[in-house]
Amino acid sequence: MSAAKLRLLVGVLAVGVLTAGCGGSTGSSGDGPVTLTLNLFGNMGFKDLYAKYEAAHPNIKIVERTSAYNDHHRNLAAHLATGSGAADVEGIDTGFIAQFRAQPERFVDLRKHGADGLKDRWLPWKWQASVAKNGAQIGYGTDVGGLAMCYRRDLFEKAGLPTERDEVSKLWPDWASYFEAGRKYTANKPEGASFFDGGAQIFNAMIGQAETGYYDASDHVVVATNPVVRSAYDEVLKAVADGESAKLVGSSPAWNTGFAKSQFATIACPAWMLAKIQDQAKAFAGKWDIAAIPGGGGNWGGSYLTVPAQSKHVKEAVDLITWLTAPEQQIEVFKAHGILPSTVATYEKPEVKNLKNAFFNDAPVGQVFTTAALNLKPQYQGPRAGDIQTAIRDAINRVEEGKQDGPQAWEQMLKDVERIEQ
């Protein structure tokens, strides 16, 4: 081979290596296929949208991976701490957003990608909840968890309770009335069908209505001193002792089976719960309905999409979450799954405001949940609110499993919370 041909061959190989390296490291548009990974928890309603996005972006392939709620957030914390293993896009629940916004250096600051120009899309408190102390915006809001109460009309009828949603709402203007209705239901309940799914889920809804939950505004944990927390705990365990609970752990396999086997008649129902019910209780379409939440108002859950700084495809990942959380896509998710947008402009859209859901006996879900979102007073979430919620859930579960009584579980929970604080 001549020297000229050798130089030409080396040059071609060098260009090939450079091109391949460029495509693999930056993933920028036009450099070839890019696979974007999303780590989420539960059904966040996006799967139906991926094909549409991929069709408009032929170089993008989207892969969604889901895991259990606590496992997901625990894994994310580990991946951020080690600097590897995180997906291009990570979902974060409202109970954990304070923990992660305290680590802004580990996320892409969306202000550098035009976030300030999009700020008015969201409810003001939803936007602010993902802003770090240094001003960095680490996430775009997906949904908001305004509260209602979902119930089984057929099981209520068999137990001799009203079935029409307005009459059911009148049964429980407050939580004491709800538990009283539960006692009446339990006295005549259909075999195998308890009044509610599990004590921890009811507790979460009750705390979601409180002005102050697990933290005060100065990031001090107030679980031990906040009377609302202890009062809700005692009320729930009284109802458990009265036989009202199916004693199921939220999001567990047994809980999923509980929907299919009609093991409970009511469930505290933030908007995102509609998707879970529809996924797990397909045989009971039209038998579920939606009433007001006892006590009125409140919030439970709602999520954010973030881009970890370790993503190899930052631009593409930011473009994707900007699109997924845009009002147009949030409307599609609400129509398909009942997951309520956090983009406030959508609330006046007829397709949202006037939406009814056939699965829930044509309940006016648009009116119910947009009203709840506009009227709720957001509760301050401290850095480890999600972990504290898990500790209290575990305490209630220990009582339901017969492993401890209420006071014993409470004392252990307080010790667990102290360890979380450290």
Q: Residue 26: what pLDDT?
A: 36
Q: From CA 150, how far away is CA 288, in angstroms rounded?
A: 7
Which residues are bridge partners to 67 per DSSP?
41
Q: H or E element: which one contains 374?
A: helix 365-375
Give Cα 367 to chain centroid, integer Å: 20
What sign does the dihedral 368-205-140-84 (CA atoms) show?
negative
Q: From CA 414, how far away is CA 416, in angstroms rounded?
A: 5
Closest among 73, 84, 87, 77 to 35, alpha carbons compared: 87
Q: From CA 337, how far away is CA 276, in angstroms rounded?
A: 9
What separation in angstroms does the CA of 190 have from each of 150, 187, 249, 288?
18, 9, 21, 16
The full set of domain ranges for the chain reads 31-144+302-352, 147-298+384-421
Closest among 136, 144, 34 to 89, alpha carbons compared: 34
Q: In the structure encoding, which two tokens stand for residue 415, read together? A: 């010790």
Which residues are bridge partners to 245 per DSSP?
196
Judge contact between 59 and 23, C-beta under 8 A: no
Q: Residue 170: what pLDDT?
A: 97
With a cut of 50, list the residues of the chain below it in pLDDT: 1-30
Angle at which helices 47-56 and 314-324 cross, to 10°:
120
Q: Residue 43: what pLDDT?
A: 87
147-298+384-421: same fold as 31-144+302-352? yes
Q: Residue 23: what pLDDT?
A: 31
Judge contact between 165 and 326, C-beta under 8 A: no
Q: Residue 25: what pLDDT?
A: 32
Q: From CA 221, how far away is CA 140, in angstroms rounded?
A: 27
Coil, strand or helix at 176: helix
Q: What is the pTM of this model?
A: 0.83
Per-residue pLDDT reduced to its tens digit, 282-306: 999 999 999 999 998 888 889 999 9
Amino acid of residue 58: P
Q: Residue 1: what pLDDT?
A: 44
Q: From CA 341, how far away is CA 353, in angstroms rounded?
A: 11
Q: From CA 14, how far away is CA 398, in angstroms rounded?
A: 63
Judge contact between 246 and 397, C-beta under 8 A: no
CA dihedral 260, 239, 338, 379 (to 10 degrees): -150
Give Cα 272 to chain centroid, integer Å: 7
Side by side, the strands of the sheet bearing 89-93 are: 60-67, 34-41, 89-93, 303-306, 139-141
Q: Residue 31: what pLDDT?
A: 60
Judge contact between 369 and 351, C-beta under 8 A: no
Please state which architecture CATH assigns to domain 147-298+384-421: 3-Layer(aba) Sandwich (3.40)
Strand spans (E) along 292-380: 303-306
Coil, strand or helix at 343: strand
Which residues are bridge partners to 90 per DSSP?
39, 306
Coil, strand or helix at 181: helix
Q: What's the fold here for domain 31-144+302-352?
A: D-Maltodextrin-Binding Protein; domain 2 (3.40.190)
Q: What is the CA radius of gyration of the chain?
A: 24
